[in-house]
Structure 1
Amino acid sequence: MAVVTSRRHAVRRVVLALLLVAAVGWPAAAQPRTFLAVATGGTAGVYFPLGAALAEVWSSRVPGVQATAQTSGASVANIQLIARGDVGVAFVQNDIAYYAFHGIEMFMDRVNNRPQPVANLRGMAMLYPETIQVVTLRGKGIRSIADLRDRRVAVGAPGSGTEVNARQILRAFGLGYYNIREDFLNFAEAADQLKDGVIDAAFITAGIPTAAVQDIAAVRDLMLLPIPRSVVAELATRYPYYTPVVIPANTYRGQDAPVETAAVMAMLVTRQEMAEDLIYALTKALWENVDRLQAAHARGRDISPATARRGMPITMHAGALRYYRERGIR
């Protein structure tokens, strides 16, 4: 009899537990998760730490979203990931976004000589300047980009915005892959090979200070090669997204003088197919927690809602546009 009573009590407890769960609902099942991949760049650049911080913000501040930052080959590769639907958001250079949206430059169909636009590419936010740094070592006898003829040069990872910048800038100095020895290396690989003397110089397009360049400066006497303002002005007549900038003295160890160079802008892009309400929520969370990005990397201090639409080179996603219009951001 005691056993029967015990069983009855156990059954009652189970029934009561089920009734309680039914009353409050099944939270995990009631709220479907949206898994969001964020394409960044290499770990030695700026995209990755900012992307990791952004993914953390979105995962903690946007209900139902689980965001993850993933490494990649950077701008060109990221746009291909967006076009295929492999990621939902990506960091890219604004010049590469423009070329992709209009199907020009590296997005041309060279066989049939016609544009191949990435029609579903949409803008979310303009972020910060990306500085083109041409790095070599003192003692190599290299004083100018023109001196890179017949030298071994890291021109960026395949499919990166850096590689596009390298080709365009080399051309401005009368150089190309026909008269240098190009190596397609990401930032970390370029830093290691420059430190070891395997290559003579490296192109690195990223916010300053860049971890890869700091890594070189920590153990070797580096030199930054200038891109004079006059050359930048000439470049801008054909590629309007280049602007002249100066790398301040002492940005890196041993760099005791300012260096003239060029810059483009980093931005966030997404796909047209992404839900308007989702992109609205992501954009809102970005700007309401921008301090998290500012803490993640020094370039985060350049990220401001006041400049979020300034110079946007492509059509903006409807969700992001709704957020900016509600807050009077032009």
Structure 2
Amino acid sequence: MKKGIIVTFMALLAALAVTTVAAAAPTYMSIATGGTSGTYYVVGGAIAAAVTKGGKIQCTAETGNASVANMNLVATEGIEIAFVQNDITYWAYNGELMFQGKPVKNIRAVASLYPEHIQAVVTKDSGIKTIADLKGKRVGVGAPGSGVEGDVQAIFKVAGLTYDDLSKADFLDFAATTSRFKDNQIDAGFVVAGYPTASIMDLTTTKDVSLLSFDDEMLAKLQKEYPFFVPSSVPANTYSGITQETKTPAVMAILVTNDSVPEEMIYEFLTAMYGNLGDIAAVHAKGKEITLEGALDGLTCPLHPGAEKFFKEKGILK
């Protein structure tokens, strides 16, 4: 009888040990970022390391194909978290532009990170001083269906312009935009990224270019029509030869997830990320702009319950 009791007791201990190990095992999750030469990839890697340091989640950063592709990954539950611009999130959630008629209602916001600026690069000899001056010019408007092109379309709508007003609308990614400038094939090109942007830094070493400044009236109209735009500026001397501050709209880089991701997972993710902001800031300048106080800025879809729980505890969300 006693032997049977001992065997049962040992079996219970073994089961308890297995349960304890399982409970202690880290949760695995991935973050979709961007190309290896971009800001998303570097900052995403730093965030993944910070979250892993927290001990409860084993987090990895994966290369991605920017905001639209990342949004589709999250929507189809192909990844747990992704970097996406808040304008793309707005269009996805509301079924507009590249998501026309196909609203993505299962996405949820995790946190807002830092601004990404609309940088309209122009050659200094083009005579382009305002958005209206783009008429009759060769303009790089972003890769087809990209967030950059969506922003350009929004800006053009508010400015009363269409692609037909241009000499040529060239659908180019960052690298191709830089290449076309170097080959004197475009007069202006749009880049949406956190400054300083490597491709623009490279360009200013070989070409005499500037950044197009938006006036206050245009910035106000843009924000009224499209709330995801934030009036901002690129400081003087950010790039070689551009010595004046450039007023320009910005969108926000945010983290999004799927509504099927467990509440506790997102809560622990945020706990570890904000608990190790110093590590993220040490890796990239944009990491210094990630703050708890700005975590809800410019969010354009509902918060995930795990994020709600975290930000309420921190007093950021009422």
TM-score range, shorter chain: 0.7 to 0.9
Structure 1's 159 and 32: CA in aligned 2 closer, same or farther, altered over 3 A?
Answer: farther
TM-score, with length taken from structure 1: 0.82
Partner of 2:146: 160
Structure 1 segments of 4+ aligned residues over 4 angstroms from their partners: 27-35
Partner of 1:135: 121
Residue 227 of structure 2 aligns to a residue in which SS?
Answer: coil
Aligned AA (1:261):
T
Would the aligned equivalents of 1:153 and 1:183 in 2 still touch at CA under 8 Å? yes
Structure 1's 79 and 52: CA in aligned 2 closer, same or farther, altered over 3 A?
Answer: same
Deviation at 1:48, TM superposition (A): 2.1
Would the aligned equivalents of 2:120 and 2:212 in 1 still touch at CA under 8 Å? yes
Aligned counterpart in structure 1 of residue 137 of structure 2, from 136, 141, 151: 151
Please say which structure displays the higher CA radius of gyration.
Answer: 1
Once structures 1 and 2 are overlaid, which stretch shifts more, 96-105 or 32-41? 32-41
Would the aligned equivalents of 1:146 and 1:173 in 2 still touch at CA under 8 Å? yes
Would the aligned equivalents of 1:77 and 1:159 in 2 still touch at CA under 8 Å? no
Would the aligned equivalents of 2:223 and 2:231 in 1 still touch at CA under 8 Å? no
Structure 1's 53 and 224: CA in aligned 2 closer, same or farther, altered over 3 A?
Answer: same
1:77 and 2:64 aligned: no
Structure 1's 31 and 96: CA in aligned 2 closer, same or farther, altered over 3 A?
Answer: same
Q: Which ranges of structure 2 fall in alignment gaps of 5 or more residues?
A: 1-16
Deviation at 1:35, TM superposition (A): 4.6
Q: Which ranges of structure 1 fall in alignment gaps of 5 or more residues?
A: 1-23, 110-115
Structure 1's 188 and 42: CA in aligned 2 closer, same or farther, altered over 3 A?
Answer: farther
Partner of 1:223: 210
Distance 2:272 2:304 in 1: 16
1:67 and 2:92 aligned: no
Aligned AA (2:179):
D
Would the aligned equivalents of 2:57 and 2:269 in 1 still touch at CA under 8 Å? no
Deviations 1:198-236 (A, max 9, x none): 332211111222222111112222210122111121222
Partner of 1:12: none
Deviation at 1:274, TM superposition (A): 0.9
Once structures 1 and 2 are overlaid, which stretch shifts more, 311-320 or 266-275? 311-320
Would the aligned equivalents of 1:190 and 1:202 in 2 still touch at CA under 8 Å? yes
TM-score, with length taken from structure 2: 0.85
1:314 and 2:301 aligned: yes
RMSD: 2.8
Aligned counterpart in structure 2 of residue 48 of structure 1, from 24, 41, 53: 41
Residue 169 of structure 1 aligns to a residue in which SS?
Answer: helix
Would the aligned equivalents of 1:44 and 1:188 in 2 still touch at CA under 8 Å? no
Number of residues of Structure 1 aligned to a counterpart in Structure 2: 303
Structure 1's 228 and 307: CA in aligned 2 closer, same or farther, altered over 3 A?
Answer: same
